[in-house]
Amino acid sequence: MKKLKWGMIGGGEGSQIGPAHRLGSGLDGLLEFTAGALDHRPEQGIEYGQRLGLGDRAYGGWQEMLEAEKQRGDDKVDLVTVATPNSTHFEITKGFLEGGFHVLCEKPMTMTVEEGEEIVKIAEKTGNICAVNYGYSGYSLVRHMKAMIARGDIGKVRLVNAEFAHGHHADAADAENPRVRWRYDPALAGVSAQFADCGIHAMHMASFVTGQEVTKLSADTVSCLSQRVLEDDAMVNFRMDGGAVGRLWTSSIAIGRQHGLGIQVFGETGGLRWSQEQPNQLFYMPLNQRLQVIERGEANLSPEADRTSRVTIGHAEGMPLAFANIYTDLAEAIQARKEGRAMDPAADLYPKAVDGLRSMAAVVAVAKSGKSDGVWLDARPPMFQ
Ligand code: NAI
Q: What is the pLDDT of residue 175?
A: 83
pLDDT digits over 112-132, tens only? 999 999 999 999 999 999 999
Neighbours of 71 (CB within 10 A): 8
Q: What is the pLDDT of residue 176?
A: 83
Q: Is the pLDDT of residue 272 over 80?
A: yes
| Helical ranges in 27-73 per DSSP H | 42-51, 62-70
Task: Give the Cα separation of 133 and 305 in Å (integer).
Answer: 19
8 A C-beta contact, residue 141 and residue 305: yes
8 A C-beta contact, residue 148 and residue 154: yes
pLDDT digits over 12-43, tens only? 999 999 999 999 999 999 999 999 999 999 99
pLDDT range class, residue 313, cuts 50, 70, 90: very high
Task: Give the Cα separation of 91 and 9 in Å (integer).
Answer: 12
Helices first, then strands: H and E counts in the chain: 13, 14
pLDDT range class, residue 291, cuts 50, 70, 90: very high
Task: Give the Cα separation of 328 and 334 in Å (integer).
Answer: 10
CA of 10 to the centre of ligand 1 (A): 6
Q: Give 195's DSSP letter.
A: I
Q: What is the pLDDT of residue 75?
A: 96
Q: What is the pLDDT of residue 178?
A: 80
Residue among 68, 61, 22 nearest 44 (CA) = 61
| Three-point CA angle 78, 108, 218, nearest 5° | 145
pLDDT digits over 149-200, tens only? 999 999 999 999 999 999 999 999 988 888 788 889 998 899 999 999 999 9
Atom of ligand 1 lying closest to residue 135 CA: 41
8 A C-beta contact, residue 263 and residue 282: no
Return all residues near 275 (Cβ < 8 A) that are at least 6 apart: 261, 262, 263
Indicate if the alpha-carbon torsion angle 357, 360, 364, 365 is positive or negative: positive
Ligand 1 pocket mutation pick from 8, 40, 250 by most atoms within 8 angstroms of CB: 40
Which residue CA neighbors atom 42 of ligand 1 most closely?
17
Ligand 1 pocket mutation pick from 84, 183, 276 by most atoms within 8 angstroms of CB: 84
CA of 284 to the centre of ligand 1 (A): 36
Ligand 1 pocket mutation pick from 15, 80, 201, 277 by most atoms within 8 angstroms of CB: 15
Which residue CA neighbors atom 16 of ligand 1 most closely?
40
Provide DSSP, 308-374: T--SPTTS---HHHHHHHHHHHHHHHHHHHHHTSPPPGGGTTS-BHHHHHHHHHHHHHHHHHHHTTT
Ligand 1 pocket mutation pick from 8, 9, 13, 16 by most atoms within 8 angstroms of CB: 16
Task: Give the Cα separation of 232 and 169 in Å (integer).
Answer: 8
Q: What is the pLDDT of residue 265?
A: 99
Task: Give the Cα separation of 101 and 103 in Å (integer).
Answer: 6
8 A C-beta contact, residue 157 and residue 149: yes
8 A C-beta contact, residue 7 and residue 77: yes
Q: Is the pLDDT of residue 1 over 90?
A: no
Residue among 361, 352, 355 nearest 112 (CA) = 361
Atom of ligand 1 lying closest to residue 41 CA: 11
CA of 319 to the centre of ligand 1 (A): 17
CA of 381 to the centre of ligand 1 (A): 25
Atom of ligand 1 lying closest to residue 84 CA: 7
Give Cα separations from 278 to 175, 208, 283, 296, 315 (angstroms): 30, 19, 11, 11, 12
Which residue CA neighbors atom 31 of ligand 1 most closely?
85
| pTM exceeds cut of 0.85 | yes
Give residue ranges with CB within 6 A of ligand 1: 9-12, 15-17, 37-40, 62, 83-86, 88, 106-107, 133, 135
Peptide bond before residue 108 is cis, with ω within 30 degrees of 0: yes
Task: Give the Cα separation of 220 and 238 in Å (integer).
Answer: 12
Atom of ligand 1 lying closest to residue 17 CA: 26
Atom of ligand 1 lying closest to residue 13 CA: 9
CA of 314 to the centre of ligand 1 (A): 33
Residue among 250, 237, 274, 251 nearest 159 (CA) = 237
Residue among 209, 170, 200, 219 nearest 86 (CA) = 200
Phi, psi dihedral angles at 256 (to 5 degrees): 100, -20
What is the chain's mean pLDDT, rounded? Answer: 97
8 A C-beta contact, residue 96 and residue 103: yes
CA of 61 to the centre of ligand 1 (A): 14
Q: What is the pLDDT of residue 179?
A: 78
Task: Give the Cα separation of 311 and 303 in Å (integer).
Answer: 15
